[in-house]
Structure 1
Protein backbone atom coordinates (compact mmCIF):
# COMPACT_ATOMS: atom_id res chain seq x y z
CA UNK A 1 0.00 0.00 0.00
CA UNK A 2 1.29 3.45 -0.89
CA UNK A 3 0.92 5.47 2.30
CA UNK A 4 1.67 8.71 0.42
CA UNK A 5 4.49 9.58 2.80
CA UNK A 6 7.07 10.23 0.09
CA UNK A 7 8.97 13.42 0.84
CA UNK A 8 7.30 13.88 4.22
CA UNK A 9 9.62 15.13 6.97
CA UNK A 10 9.15 13.05 10.13
CA UNK A 11 10.89 13.61 13.46
CA UNK A 12 11.64 10.36 15.35
CA UNK A 13 13.06 10.65 18.85
CA UNK A 14 15.29 7.73 19.79
CA UNK A 15 15.19 6.78 16.12
CA UNK A 16 18.60 5.12 15.85
CA UNK A 17 17.89 1.88 17.72
CA UNK A 18 15.16 -0.49 18.88
CA UNK A 19 11.57 0.49 18.11
CA UNK A 20 12.69 3.89 16.84
CA UNK A 21 15.05 2.30 14.33
CA UNK A 22 12.21 0.12 13.06
CA UNK A 23 10.15 3.27 12.46
CA UNK A 24 13.05 5.05 10.78
CA UNK A 25 13.63 2.03 8.50
CA UNK A 26 9.97 1.95 7.50
CA UNK A 27 9.92 5.68 6.76
CA UNK A 28 12.90 5.24 4.46
CA UNK A 29 11.14 2.44 2.62
CA UNK A 30 8.15 4.74 2.05
CA UNK A 31 10.35 7.49 0.66
CA UNK A 32 9.85 9.80 3.64
CA UNK A 33 12.63 11.89 5.19
CA UNK A 34 13.22 10.56 8.71
CA UNK A 35 14.94 12.93 11.13
CA UNK A 36 16.54 11.08 14.04
CA UNK A 37 16.93 12.93 17.34
CA UNK A 38 18.90 10.71 19.69
CA UNK A 39 21.19 11.12 22.70
CA UNK A 40 23.22 8.05 21.70
CA UNK A 41 25.87 9.26 19.25
CA UNK A 42 27.27 5.74 18.86
CA UNK A 43 23.85 4.37 17.88
CA UNK A 44 23.41 7.17 15.34
CA UNK A 45 26.82 6.53 13.78
CA UNK A 46 26.21 2.79 13.65
CA UNK A 47 22.84 3.28 12.00
CA UNK A 48 24.17 5.71 9.39
CA UNK A 49 27.11 3.44 8.58
CA UNK A 50 24.70 0.57 7.96
CA UNK A 51 22.67 2.58 5.44
CA UNK A 52 25.38 2.78 2.80
CA UNK A 53 24.17 4.80 -0.17
CA UNK A 54 20.90 5.63 1.60
CA UNK A 55 22.62 7.62 4.35
CA UNK A 56 22.00 10.90 2.53
CA UNK A 57 18.27 10.33 2.91
CA UNK A 58 18.31 10.54 6.72
CA UNK A 59 18.81 13.64 8.87
CA UNK A 60 20.35 13.10 12.30
CA UNK A 61 20.97 15.18 15.40
CA UNK A 62 22.80 14.00 18.51
CA UNK A 63 20.56 15.66 21.08
CA UNK A 64 19.92 15.33 24.80
CA UNK A 65 16.12 15.46 24.71
CA UNK A 66 15.86 16.92 28.21
CA UNK A 67 17.90 19.95 27.05
CA UNK A 68 15.43 22.50 25.70
CA UNK A 69 18.05 24.66 23.97
CA UNK A 70 19.53 21.71 22.08
CA UNK A 71 16.09 20.51 20.98
CA UNK A 72 15.15 23.96 19.68
CA UNK A 73 18.41 24.14 17.71
CA UNK A 74 17.92 20.66 16.22
CA UNK A 75 14.41 21.46 14.98
CA UNK A 76 15.51 24.87 13.68
CA UNK A 77 18.29 23.21 11.68
CA UNK A 78 15.92 20.57 10.28
CA UNK A 79 13.41 23.19 9.15
CA UNK A 80 16.22 25.25 7.62
CA UNK A 81 17.25 22.14 5.65
CA UNK A 82 13.83 20.86 4.63
CA UNK A 83 11.45 23.80 4.95
CA UNK A 84 8.84 21.78 6.83
CA UNK A 85 7.85 19.23 9.46
CA UNK A 86 5.00 16.87 8.63
CA UNK A 87 4.94 14.56 11.63
CA UNK A 88 6.44 13.82 15.04
CA UNK A 89 6.99 10.38 16.55
CA UNK A 90 7.72 10.61 20.28
CA UNK A 91 9.48 7.35 21.06
CA UNK A 92 12.56 7.78 23.26
CA UNK A 93 12.53 6.54 26.85
CA UNK A 94 13.64 3.75 29.13
CA UNK A 95 12.27 1.67 32.00
CA UNK A 96 14.64 2.98 34.64
CA UNK A 97 13.32 1.02 37.64
CA UNK A 98 12.60 4.03 39.86
CA UNK A 99 10.16 2.45 42.32
CA UNK A 100 8.31 3.61 45.42
CA UNK A 101 9.99 1.56 48.13
CA UNK A 102 13.55 1.96 46.91
CA UNK A 103 13.32 5.18 44.89
CA UNK A 104 13.54 8.84 45.87
CA UNK A 105 11.53 11.90 44.91
CA UNK A 106 14.47 13.33 42.95
CA UNK A 107 14.81 10.06 41.00
CA UNK A 108 11.07 10.08 40.35
CA UNK A 109 11.16 13.62 38.93
CA UNK A 110 14.18 12.72 36.80
CA UNK A 111 12.33 9.66 35.45
CA UNK A 112 9.38 11.84 34.44
CA UNK A 113 11.75 14.27 32.74
CA UNK A 114 13.51 11.45 30.87
CA UNK A 115 10.33 9.63 29.84
CA UNK A 116 7.58 12.15 29.24
CA UNK A 117 8.94 15.69 29.64
CA UNK A 118 10.51 15.60 26.17
CA UNK A 119 7.24 14.31 24.66
CA UNK A 120 5.70 17.65 25.63
CA UNK A 121 8.81 19.62 24.68
CA UNK A 122 9.12 18.15 21.19
CA UNK A 123 5.41 18.61 20.50
CA UNK A 124 5.65 22.21 21.67
CA UNK A 125 8.65 22.98 19.43
CA UNK A 126 7.21 21.20 16.38
CA UNK A 127 3.69 22.59 16.74
CA UNK A 128 4.07 25.74 14.60
CA UNK A 129 5.28 23.60 11.69
CA UNK A 130 2.68 20.88 12.23
CA UNK A 131 0.00 23.56 12.03
CA UNK A 132 1.26 24.54 8.59
CA UNK A 133 1.38 20.95 7.32
CA UNK A 134 -1.77 19.77 9.14
CA UNK A 135 0.48 17.00 10.35
CA UNK A 136 0.36 14.15 12.84
CA UNK A 137 1.79 13.14 16.19
CA UNK A 138 2.26 9.55 17.32
CA UNK A 139 3.26 8.87 20.92
CA UNK A 140 4.81 5.46 21.60
CA UNK A 141 3.53 4.15 24.92
CA UNK A 142 4.40 1.18 27.13
CA UNK A 143 1.74 -1.30 28.32
CA UNK A 144 2.73 -0.38 31.86
CA UNK A 145 0.19 2.48 31.72
CA UNK A 146 -2.55 -0.18 31.87
CA UNK A 147 -0.95 -3.16 33.59
CA UNK A 148 1.52 -1.72 36.07
CA UNK A 149 4.66 -3.68 36.83
CA UNK A 150 5.82 -2.91 40.33
CA UNK A 151 9.07 -1.21 41.23
CA UNK A 152 8.97 1.32 38.41
CA UNK A 153 6.80 4.22 39.55
CA UNK A 154 8.50 6.82 37.39
CA UNK A 155 8.13 4.92 34.14
CA UNK A 156 4.55 3.92 34.95
CA UNK A 157 3.57 7.51 35.73
CA UNK A 158 5.30 8.75 32.57
CA UNK A 159 3.40 6.30 30.39
CA UNK A 160 0.10 7.16 32.01
CA UNK A 161 0.92 10.76 31.15
CA UNK A 162 1.77 9.80 27.54
CA UNK A 163 -1.73 8.37 27.13
CA UNK A 164 -3.37 11.41 28.72
CA UNK A 165 -1.34 13.77 26.56
CA UNK A 166 -2.39 11.86 23.46
CA UNK A 167 -6.04 12.35 24.32
CA UNK A 168 -5.64 15.95 25.43
CA UNK A 169 -3.60 17.02 22.40
CA UNK A 170 -6.13 15.41 20.06
CA UNK A 171 -8.76 17.67 21.62
CA UNK A 172 -6.61 20.78 21.61
CA UNK A 173 -5.21 20.40 18.11
CA UNK A 174 -8.29 19.26 16.21
CA UNK A 175 -8.95 22.88 15.16
CA UNK A 176 -5.67 22.74 13.22
CA UNK A 177 -6.55 19.38 11.63
CA UNK A 178 -3.60 17.78 13.44
CA UNK A 179 -4.25 14.14 14.34
CA UNK A 180 -2.74 12.60 17.47
CA UNK A 181 -2.42 8.90 18.32
CA UNK A 182 -0.76 6.58 20.77
CA UNK A 183 0.74 3.20 19.92
CA UNK A 184 0.88 0.95 22.97
CA UNK A 185 3.64 -1.65 23.14
CA UNK A 186 3.79 -4.70 25.40
CA UNK A 187 6.69 -7.10 24.84
CA UNK A 188 8.71 -6.10 21.77
CA UNK A 189 11.83 -7.94 20.58
CA UNK A 190 14.63 -5.38 20.39
CA UNK A 191 18.42 -5.60 20.86
CA UNK A 192 17.96 -4.12 24.34
CA UNK A 193 15.41 -6.80 25.24
CA UNK A 194 17.66 -9.52 23.79
CA UNK A 195 20.55 -8.24 25.91
CA UNK A 196 18.40 -8.32 29.05
CA UNK A 197 17.22 -11.87 28.32
CA UNK A 198 20.79 -13.06 27.78
CA UNK A 199 21.81 -11.93 31.28
CA UNK A 200 19.38 -14.34 32.95
CA UNK A 201 20.55 -17.73 34.24
CA UNK A 202 18.15 -19.56 31.91
CA UNK A 203 17.46 -17.19 28.98
CA UNK A 204 15.43 -19.75 27.02
CA UNK A 205 13.11 -20.47 29.96
CA UNK A 206 12.65 -16.77 30.71
CA UNK A 207 11.77 -16.09 27.07
CA UNK A 208 9.32 -19.00 27.01
CA UNK A 209 7.60 -17.69 30.15
CA UNK A 210 7.24 -14.19 28.67
CA UNK A 211 5.97 -15.49 25.33
CA UNK A 212 3.42 -17.71 27.07
CA UNK A 213 1.69 -14.59 28.43
CA UNK A 214 1.11 -13.12 24.97
CA UNK A 215 -2.26 -14.50 23.80
CA UNK A 216 -1.89 -14.11 20.04
CA UNK A 217 0.74 -16.52 18.64
CA UNK A 218 2.66 -16.61 21.96
CA UNK A 219 5.40 -14.37 20.64
CA UNK A 220 6.65 -10.84 21.04
CA UNK A 221 5.68 -7.99 18.77
CA UNK A 222 8.34 -7.08 16.21
CA UNK A 223 9.66 -3.59 15.56
CA UNK A 224 8.40 -3.99 11.98
CA UNK A 225 4.82 -4.52 13.20
CA UNK A 226 5.02 -1.45 15.43
CA UNK A 227 6.50 0.59 12.60
CA UNK A 228 3.76 -0.51 10.19
CA UNK A 229 1.04 0.69 12.56
CA UNK A 230 2.87 3.93 13.30
CA UNK A 231 3.26 4.78 9.61
CA UNK A 232 -0.37 3.96 8.90
CA UNK A 233 -1.43 6.39 11.63
CA UNK A 234 0.94 9.05 10.27
CA UNK A 235 -0.58 8.72 6.81
CA UNK A 236 -3.82 10.05 5.39
CA UNK A 237 -5.00 6.43 5.17
CA UNK A 238 -5.89 6.61 8.87
CA UNK A 239 -8.72 8.92 7.86
CA UNK A 240 -10.59 11.21 10.19
CA UNK A 241 -9.75 9.37 13.43
CA UNK A 242 -7.70 10.94 16.23
CA UNK A 243 -7.13 10.60 19.97
CA UNK A 244 -6.95 6.81 19.97
CA UNK A 245 -4.35 4.59 21.62
CA UNK A 246 -3.82 1.51 19.45
CA UNK A 247 -2.56 -1.62 21.20
CA UNK A 248 -0.03 -3.49 19.06
CA UNK A 249 0.66 -6.18 21.63
CA UNK A 250 -0.73 -9.56 20.60
CA UNK A 251 -3.70 -9.03 22.91
CA UNK A 252 -1.46 -8.76 25.99
CA UNK A 253 -3.52 -6.06 27.72
CA UNK A 254 -7.07 -6.90 26.64
CA UNK A 255 -7.17 -10.68 26.16
CA UNK A 256 -7.02 -13.40 28.78
CA UNK A 257 -3.52 -14.79 29.26
CA UNK A 258 -4.76 -18.23 30.33
Structure 2
Protein backbone atom coordinates (compact mmCIF):
# COMPACT_ATOMS: atom_id res chain seq x y z
CA UNK A 1 0.00 0.00 0.00
CA UNK A 2 2.99 2.31 0.28
CA UNK A 3 2.33 5.57 -1.61
CA UNK A 4 -0.83 4.21 -3.24
CA UNK A 5 -3.29 7.09 -3.72
CA UNK A 6 -6.63 6.02 -2.26
CA UNK A 7 -10.01 7.77 -2.31
CA UNK A 8 -12.25 6.86 0.65
CA UNK A 9 -15.79 8.26 0.67
CA UNK A 10 -17.74 8.64 3.88
CA UNK A 11 -14.39 8.88 5.65
CA UNK A 12 -15.55 11.22 8.40
CA UNK A 13 -16.68 8.53 10.83
CA UNK A 14 -17.53 4.88 11.30
CA UNK A 15 -16.25 2.36 8.80
CA UNK A 16 -14.93 5.05 6.45
CA UNK A 17 -12.79 6.48 9.24
CA UNK A 18 -11.54 2.99 10.12
CA UNK A 19 -10.62 2.30 6.48
CA UNK A 20 -8.85 5.65 6.17
CA UNK A 21 -6.88 5.01 9.37
CA UNK A 22 -5.98 1.44 8.41
CA UNK A 23 -4.79 2.30 4.91
CA UNK A 24 -3.01 5.41 6.15
CA UNK A 25 -1.12 3.34 8.69
CA UNK A 26 -0.18 0.93 5.88
CA UNK A 27 1.50 3.74 3.95
CA UNK A 28 -1.22 4.82 1.54
CA UNK A 29 -1.87 8.43 0.59
CA UNK A 30 -5.45 8.79 1.82
CA UNK A 31 -7.81 11.21 0.08
CA UNK A 32 -10.54 11.29 2.71
CA UNK A 33 -13.89 12.49 1.40
CA UNK A 34 -17.02 13.30 3.37
CA UNK A 35 -19.95 15.68 3.25
CA UNK A 36 -19.13 16.79 6.82
CA UNK A 37 -16.12 19.08 6.66
CA UNK A 38 -15.18 19.13 10.33
CA UNK A 39 -15.27 15.36 10.70
CA UNK A 40 -13.21 14.59 7.59
CA UNK A 41 -10.62 17.22 8.52
CA UNK A 42 -10.26 15.64 11.95
CA UNK A 43 -9.74 12.19 10.44
CA UNK A 44 -7.10 13.46 8.00
CA UNK A 45 -5.34 15.39 10.76
CA UNK A 46 -5.20 12.32 13.00
CA UNK A 47 -3.62 10.29 10.19
CA UNK A 48 -1.07 13.01 9.52
CA UNK A 49 -0.32 13.37 13.23
CA UNK A 50 0.37 9.63 13.33
CA UNK A 51 2.99 9.92 10.61
CA UNK A 52 0.77 9.07 7.65
CA UNK A 53 -0.35 11.12 4.67
CA UNK A 54 -3.97 12.21 4.33
CA UNK A 55 -5.85 15.00 2.60
CA UNK A 56 -9.44 16.00 3.42
CA UNK A 57 -12.04 16.75 0.74
CA UNK A 58 -15.59 17.94 1.27
CA UNK A 59 -17.66 15.88 -1.16
CA UNK A 60 -21.32 15.08 -1.69
CA UNK A 61 -21.26 11.83 -3.67
CA UNK A 62 -24.58 12.75 -5.29
CA UNK A 63 -22.95 15.68 -7.08
CA UNK A 64 -21.36 14.68 -10.40
CA UNK A 65 -19.62 18.04 -10.87
CA UNK A 66 -18.27 17.94 -7.31
CA UNK A 67 -16.89 14.47 -7.97
CA UNK A 68 -15.24 15.62 -11.16
CA UNK A 69 -13.64 18.59 -9.41
CA UNK A 70 -12.41 16.47 -6.50
CA UNK A 71 -10.89 13.88 -8.83
CA UNK A 72 -9.25 16.64 -10.88
CA UNK A 73 -7.81 18.16 -7.69
CA UNK A 74 -6.41 14.80 -6.58
CA UNK A 75 -4.87 14.16 -9.98
CA UNK A 76 -3.34 17.64 -10.03
CA UNK A 77 -1.79 17.09 -6.59
CA UNK A 78 -0.72 13.44 -6.83
CA UNK A 79 -0.69 12.59 -10.53
CA UNK A 80 -2.56 9.32 -10.11
CA UNK A 81 -5.36 7.47 -8.32
CA UNK A 82 -4.80 3.81 -7.51
CA UNK A 83 -7.80 2.80 -5.42
CA UNK A 84 -11.39 3.96 -4.94
CA UNK A 85 -13.32 2.91 -1.83
CA UNK A 86 -17.05 3.60 -2.27
CA UNK A 87 -18.10 3.62 1.39
CA UNK A 88 -20.47 6.59 1.85
CA UNK A 89 -23.95 5.45 2.80
CA UNK A 90 -27.23 6.55 4.35
CA UNK A 91 -30.64 5.14 5.28
CA UNK A 92 -34.18 6.10 6.25
CA UNK A 93 -35.93 3.82 8.74
CA UNK A 94 -39.48 4.23 7.43
CA UNK A 95 -42.18 1.98 6.01
CA UNK A 96 -43.20 2.56 2.42
CA UNK A 97 -46.32 4.53 3.40
CA UNK A 98 -44.18 7.06 5.27
CA UNK A 99 -41.19 7.04 2.93
CA UNK A 100 -41.31 10.10 0.71
CA UNK A 101 -40.02 10.23 -2.85
CA UNK A 102 -37.36 12.64 -1.59
CA UNK A 103 -36.29 10.13 1.06
CA UNK A 104 -36.10 7.33 -1.52
CA UNK A 105 -34.10 9.46 -3.93
CA UNK A 106 -31.60 10.50 -1.25
CA UNK A 107 -30.87 6.93 -0.13
CA UNK A 108 -30.56 5.57 -3.66
CA UNK A 109 -28.53 8.58 -4.81
CA UNK A 110 -25.98 8.24 -1.99
CA UNK A 111 -25.75 4.44 -1.81
CA UNK A 112 -26.00 3.50 -5.49
CA UNK A 113 -25.70 6.50 -7.80
CA UNK A 114 -22.72 7.83 -5.83
CA UNK A 115 -20.60 4.71 -6.41
CA UNK A 116 -21.63 4.74 -10.08
CA UNK A 117 -20.63 8.40 -10.53
CA UNK A 118 -17.31 7.95 -8.74
CA UNK A 119 -16.49 4.72 -10.56
CA UNK A 120 -17.40 6.25 -13.92
CA UNK A 121 -15.12 9.21 -13.20
CA UNK A 122 -12.16 7.22 -11.90
CA UNK A 123 -12.37 4.20 -14.23
CA UNK A 124 -10.77 5.89 -17.28
CA UNK A 125 -7.84 7.02 -15.13
CA UNK A 126 -7.26 3.48 -13.84
CA UNK A 127 -7.57 2.12 -17.36
CA UNK A 128 -5.00 4.59 -18.63
CA UNK A 129 -2.62 3.58 -15.83
CA UNK A 130 -3.12 -0.07 -16.73
CA UNK A 131 -4.26 -1.10 -13.24
CA UNK A 132 -6.38 -0.09 -10.26
CA UNK A 133 -8.90 -1.30 -7.70
CA UNK A 134 -12.48 -0.26 -6.87
CA UNK A 135 -14.00 -1.48 -3.61
CA UNK A 136 -17.73 -1.11 -3.00
CA UNK A 137 -18.90 -1.38 0.60
CA UNK A 138 -22.13 -3.33 0.52
CA UNK A 139 -24.08 -4.82 3.41
CA UNK A 140 -25.89 -7.94 4.46
CA UNK A 141 -28.85 -5.79 3.39
CA UNK A 142 -27.84 -6.90 -0.11
CA UNK A 143 -28.48 -10.53 0.87
CA UNK A 144 -31.55 -10.38 3.12
CA UNK A 145 -34.34 -7.97 4.09
CA UNK A 146 -36.02 -6.42 7.10
CA UNK A 147 -38.92 -4.01 7.41
CA UNK A 148 -38.79 -0.20 7.20
CA UNK A 149 -35.75 -0.29 4.92
CA UNK A 150 -37.00 -0.69 1.34
CA UNK A 151 -34.84 2.12 -0.07
CA UNK A 152 -31.74 0.84 1.74
CA UNK A 153 -32.27 -2.71 0.52
CA UNK A 154 -32.92 -1.58 -3.05
CA UNK A 155 -29.73 0.51 -3.02
CA UNK A 156 -27.51 -2.20 -1.51
CA UNK A 157 -28.86 -5.04 -3.66
CA UNK A 158 -28.28 -2.71 -6.61
CA UNK A 159 -24.76 -1.89 -5.43
CA UNK A 160 -23.87 -5.56 -5.20
CA UNK A 161 -25.14 -6.15 -8.73
CA UNK A 162 -23.32 -3.08 -10.00
CA UNK A 163 -20.11 -4.25 -8.33
CA UNK A 164 -20.20 -7.68 -9.96
CA UNK A 165 -21.03 -6.18 -13.36
CA UNK A 166 -18.13 -3.74 -13.02
CA UNK A 167 -15.88 -6.62 -11.98
CA UNK A 168 -16.71 -8.37 -15.26
CA UNK A 169 -15.87 -5.23 -17.25
CA UNK A 170 -12.82 -4.27 -15.23
CA UNK A 171 -10.98 -7.55 -15.76
CA UNK A 172 -10.51 -6.62 -19.43
CA UNK A 173 -8.64 -3.48 -18.38
CA UNK A 174 -6.70 -4.98 -15.45
CA UNK A 175 -8.95 -3.17 -12.96
CA UNK A 176 -10.00 -5.15 -9.90
CA UNK A 177 -13.46 -4.66 -8.39
CA UNK A 178 -14.53 -6.03 -5.02
CA UNK A 179 -17.76 -5.91 -3.04
CA UNK A 180 -17.20 -6.06 0.72
CA UNK A 181 -20.40 -7.18 2.43
CA UNK A 182 -20.23 -5.96 6.01
CA UNK A 183 -22.35 -7.27 8.85
CA UNK A 184 -23.36 -5.11 11.80
CA UNK A 185 -20.64 -2.83 13.21
CA UNK A 186 -20.25 -0.61 16.25
CA UNK A 187 -20.56 2.59 14.24
CA UNK A 188 -22.77 5.70 14.48
CA UNK A 189 -24.73 4.36 11.49
CA UNK A 190 -26.23 1.73 13.80
CA UNK A 191 -25.64 2.95 17.34
CA UNK A 192 -27.01 6.48 16.83
CA UNK A 193 -30.18 5.25 15.14
CA UNK A 194 -30.74 2.14 17.23
CA UNK A 195 -29.32 2.97 20.68
CA UNK A 196 -30.92 -0.12 22.24
CA UNK A 197 -28.72 -2.39 20.11
CA UNK A 198 -26.39 -4.54 22.19
CA UNK A 199 -22.91 -3.45 21.04
CA UNK A 200 -21.53 -6.84 22.05
CA UNK A 201 -23.29 -8.54 19.13
CA UNK A 202 -21.68 -6.14 16.64
CA UNK A 203 -18.14 -6.04 15.29
CA UNK A 204 -15.43 -3.42 15.45
CA UNK A 205 -15.32 -1.53 12.12
CA UNK A 206 -11.53 -1.96 12.27
CA UNK A 207 -12.08 -5.65 11.50
CA UNK A 208 -13.89 -4.80 8.28
CA UNK A 209 -11.23 -2.21 7.45
CA UNK A 210 -8.58 -4.91 7.87
CA UNK A 211 -10.51 -7.04 5.38
CA UNK A 212 -10.50 -4.15 2.90
CA UNK A 213 -6.73 -3.93 3.37
CA UNK A 214 -6.41 -7.69 2.80
CA UNK A 215 -8.44 -7.49 -0.41
CA UNK A 216 -6.27 -4.65 -1.70
CA UNK A 217 -3.01 -6.49 -1.07
CA UNK A 218 -3.72 -9.64 -3.08
CA UNK A 219 -1.19 -10.59 -5.78
CA UNK A 220 -1.65 -8.94 -9.16
CA UNK A 221 -2.94 -12.17 -10.67
CA UNK A 222 -5.72 -12.55 -8.08
CA UNK A 223 -8.97 -10.65 -7.48
CA UNK A 224 -11.62 -11.19 -4.80
CA UNK A 225 -14.96 -10.14 -6.33
CA UNK A 226 -16.96 -10.54 -3.11
CA UNK A 227 -16.24 -11.12 0.57
CA UNK A 228 -18.57 -11.12 3.58
CA UNK A 229 -17.43 -10.07 7.07
CA UNK A 230 -19.80 -10.90 9.94
CA UNK A 231 -19.75 -10.43 13.70
CA UNK A 232 -19.58 -13.79 15.46
CA UNK A 233 -22.51 -13.11 17.79
CA UNK A 234 -24.90 -11.43 15.37
CA UNK A 235 -26.81 -14.40 13.95
CA UNK A 236 -29.47 -12.95 11.66
CA UNK A 237 -27.22 -13.75 8.68
CA UNK A 238 -26.98 -16.43 7.66
Question: Which deviates more, 233-242 or 81-90?
Answer: 233-242
Please give the alpha-carbon distance, in whole angstroms, between the structure 2 residues aligned to 1:253 and 1:197: 16
Note the aligned Cα RMSD (angstroms). Answer: 2.1
Q: 1:241 aligns with which of 223, 227, 231?
A: 223
Q: 1:227 aligns with which of 201, 209, 212?
A: 209
5+ residue gaps in structure 1? 212-218
User: Residue 179 of structure 1 corresponds to which residue in structure 2?
Assistant: 176
Q: Tell me the TM-score normalised to structure 2 length.
A: 0.90
Q: Computing the radius of gyration over CA atoms, which structure comes out larger, 1 or 2?
A: 1
Alignment check: 8 A CA contact 2:15 2:205 kept: yes
Please give the alpha-carbon distance, in whole angstroms, between the structure 2 residues aligned to 1:117 and 1:225: 27
Alignment check: 8 A CA contact 1:146 1:253 kept: no
User: Residue 26 of structure 1 corresponds to which residue in structure 2?
Assistant: 22
Deviation per residue, 1:158-216 (Å, 9 max, x gap) = 00011001110011111111111111112101144333454xxxx4xx417xx5xxxxx
Equivalent position SS for 1:147: coil
Please give the alpha-carbon distance, in whole angstroms, between the structure 2 residues aligned to 1:34 and 1:48: 8
User: Residue 190 of structure 2 corresponds to which residue in structure 1?
Assistant: 193
Please give the alpha-carbon distance, in whole angstroms, between the structure 1 residues aligned to 2:175 and 2:188: 33
CA 1:79/1:169 → structure 2, altered by over 3 Å: closer, same or farther? Answer: same
1:1-258 alignment to 2 at 5 Å? Answer: 5-51=1-47, 53-54=49-50, 57-131=53-127, 132-198=129-195, 203=196, 206-207=197-198, 219-237=201-219, 239-242=221-224, 244-250=225-231, 252=235, 254-255=237-238
Q: Tell me the TM-score normalised to structure 1 length.
A: 0.84
Alignment check: 8 A CA contact 2:32 2:44 kept: no
User: Residue 216 of structure 1 corresponds to which residue in structure 2?
Assistant: none
Deviation per residue, 1:58-117 (Å, 9 max, x gap) = 021101111111110000000111110101100001122253222233432332112211
CA 1:220/1:239 → structure 2, altered by over 3 Å: closer, same or farther? Answer: farther
CA 1:228/1:181 → structure 2, altered by over 3 Å: closer, same or farther? Answer: same
Alignment check: 8 A CA contact 2:139 2:156 kept: yes
